[in-house]
């Protein structure tokens, strides 16, 4: 593979970490400062200035950790915090953390600045000056083993688990061979998979933790009375949460599982990690993640430089801070929404009106630990459409695209200006000792 030895030109941060983007964040510390942030960022929206924030007025340890990790993310070059002035968020502590990282940082308090108009003017002036300052950000060669990649599925249908998810899992396998850190997520969509997953754990104790994490998700969603499956998933042919889980699980590829992390924890080294995003303790603040973007924000807070996002129904989202690569599972959806999709994994099913070869999907099923018995009646290859691709083909395509995006190529959602972001209340307990085995 040509890109095997490729290096990435990263942005070097003072702590030695490297990013693939040089974003300026404008961060509101309560919803009341959101509009002011949007107005500050608007003229610079195509210059890598993104808005994130926490809407709540009450303090929350998880939200503070999330904001701190996001503001100090390797893709972030500078941070402007905007406070209304009376909210509980500990703005000074967050500002100190960002300043300590060596990044340009500033805090504007709307009530002290004298209101909306003055804060916007002050904020825009700071952004203009900081954009110039960031032009001098040092660049450094970045190896693949310095990359952190997260994966998520959204707007899934029955093709997601047959094409895009196994192909992203294959890309994960390629990355992990090179010792990159890869994170898969959403324990609520692994319900039914816990015992298969435990067999892949680096240690038996970690296997038990994986089973416990999924059991926690089952209890939590059970209390909510609603599984992580939507009417759109059902229209797309997914009938039950178990069936959705089978497909979602394929995103993890076939590597050993090296550990469990929680939102805001960085993978300690290369390998495959499960992000346990379901809050600990009694359900308190509603659904664990109210939508896909809440999950993306958590994957980024764990250090993800970029995200692989599979969709069958056709999600259009991107994200603030880290680029999102959209892998479309369904060939019909790809044909309808090509402008939003980076990879057409549905080619694995594509029959071009003719008969398909089943070879590739058989491989897809194997990535779930099964041996499928589907056999093509004829020589599948000869009747395949010219677009047709194998699981390996699409896995390589995704891997190569990861390297190009890391080197600055814009993803479709980036080019379209998608910068979705959401952060809500949660509570977590610290990781147990078996979650990150040293030997893994």
Q: Which residues bind other proteins (CB under 8 A)?
A: 157-159, 162, 191-192, 196, 218, 221-227, 229-231, 234, 236-237, 239-243, 246, 286-287, 312, 330-332, 349, 351, 355-358, 361, 365, 368, 370-378, 380, 383
Helix (H) or strand (E) holding 62: helix 61-71
Single out the residue of 98, 120, 90, 96 nearest to residue 108, CA to CA.
120
**E strand spans, 159-219:** 181-184
Q: Give the alpha-carbon dihedral of 201, 187, 51, 156, to 10 degrees.
A: 110
Distance CA(308)–CA(189), nearest Å, equals 16
Contact assessment for residue 127 and residue 44, using Cβ atoms and an 8 Å cutoff = yes
Which DSSP letter does residue 3 get? G
Cross-strand partners of 271: 181
In contact, 361 and 324? CB cutoff 8 Å: no
Contact, 286 vs 422, CB < 8 A?
no
| Interatomic CA distance for residues 401 and 325, integer angstroms | 8
Closest CA to 275 of 161, 181, 200: 181
The rounded distance, in Å, linking the Cα atoms of 203 and 433 is 12
- Burial class from Cβ neighbours inside 10 Å (0-12, 13-18, 19+) for residue 375 reads exposed
Nearest to 303 by CA among 284, 287, 286, 322: 322
The candidate with the shortest Cα–Cα distance to 255, out of 144, 180, 365, is: 180
- The rounded distance, in Å, linking the Cα atoms of 292 and 290 is 7
Cα–Cα distance for residue pair 430/179, rounded to 1 Å: 26
Rounded CA-CA distance 271/148 in Å is: 10
- Parallel, antiparallel, or unpaired: how do β-strands 139-142 and 8-12 relate? antiparallel
DSSP letter at 47? T
């Amino acid at each position: 593979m040509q890109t095997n030895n490729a290096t990435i030109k990263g942005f070097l941060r003072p702590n030695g970490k490297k990013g693939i983007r040089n974003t300026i964040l404008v961060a509101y510390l309560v919803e009341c400062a959101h509009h002011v942030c949007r107005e500050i960022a608007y003229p610079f929206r195509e210059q890598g200035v993104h808005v994130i924030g926490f809407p709540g007025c009450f303090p929350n340890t998880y939200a503070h950790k999330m904001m701190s990790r996001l503001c100090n993310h390797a893709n972030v070059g500078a941070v402007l915090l905007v406070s209304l002035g009376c909210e509980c968020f500990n703005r000074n502590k967050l500002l100190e953390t960002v300043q300590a990282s060596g990044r340009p940082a500033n805090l504007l308090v709307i009530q002290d600045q004298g209101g909306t108009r003055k804060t916007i003017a002050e904020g825009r002036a700071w952004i203009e000056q900081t954009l110039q300052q960031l032009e001098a950000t040092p660049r450094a060669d970045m190896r693949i083993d310095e990359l952190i990649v997260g994966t998520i599925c959204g707007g899934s249908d029955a093709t997601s688990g047959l094409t895009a998810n196994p192909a992203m899992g294959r890309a994960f396998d390629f990355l992990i061979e090179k010792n990159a850190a890869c994170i898969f997520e959403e324990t609520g969509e692994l319900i039914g998979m816990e015992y298969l997953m435990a067999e892949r754990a680096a240690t038996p104790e970690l296997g038990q933790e994986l089973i416990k994490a999924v059991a926690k998700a089952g209890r939590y969603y059970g209390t909510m009375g609603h599984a992580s499956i939507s009417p759109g998933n059902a229209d797309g042919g997914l009938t039950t949460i178990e069936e959705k889980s089978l497909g979602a699980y394929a995103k993890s590829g076939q590597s050993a599982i090296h550990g469990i992390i929680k939102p805001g924890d960085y993978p300690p080294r290369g390998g495959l990690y499960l992000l346990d995003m379901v809050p600990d303790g009694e359900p308190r603040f509603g659904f664990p993640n109210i939508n896909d973007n809440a999950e993306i924000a958590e994957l980024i807070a764990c250090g993800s430089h970029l995200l692989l996002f599979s969709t069958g129904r056709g999600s259009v989202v991107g994200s603030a801070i880290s680029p999102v690569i959209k892998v479309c599972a369904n060939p019909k959806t790809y044909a309808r929404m090509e402008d939003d999709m980076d990879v057409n994994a549905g080619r694995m099913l594509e029959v071009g009106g003719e008969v398909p070869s089943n070879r590739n999907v058989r491989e897809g099923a194997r990535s779930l630990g099964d041996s499928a018995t589907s056999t093509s009646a004829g020589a599948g290859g000869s009747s395949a459409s010219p677009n047709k691709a194998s699981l390996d083909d699409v896995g390589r395509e995704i891997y190569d695209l990861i390297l190009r995006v890391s080197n600055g190529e814009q993803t479709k959602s980036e080019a379209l200006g998608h910068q979705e972001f959401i952060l809500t209340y949660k509570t977590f307990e610290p990781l147990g000792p078996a979650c990150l085995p040293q030997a893994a």
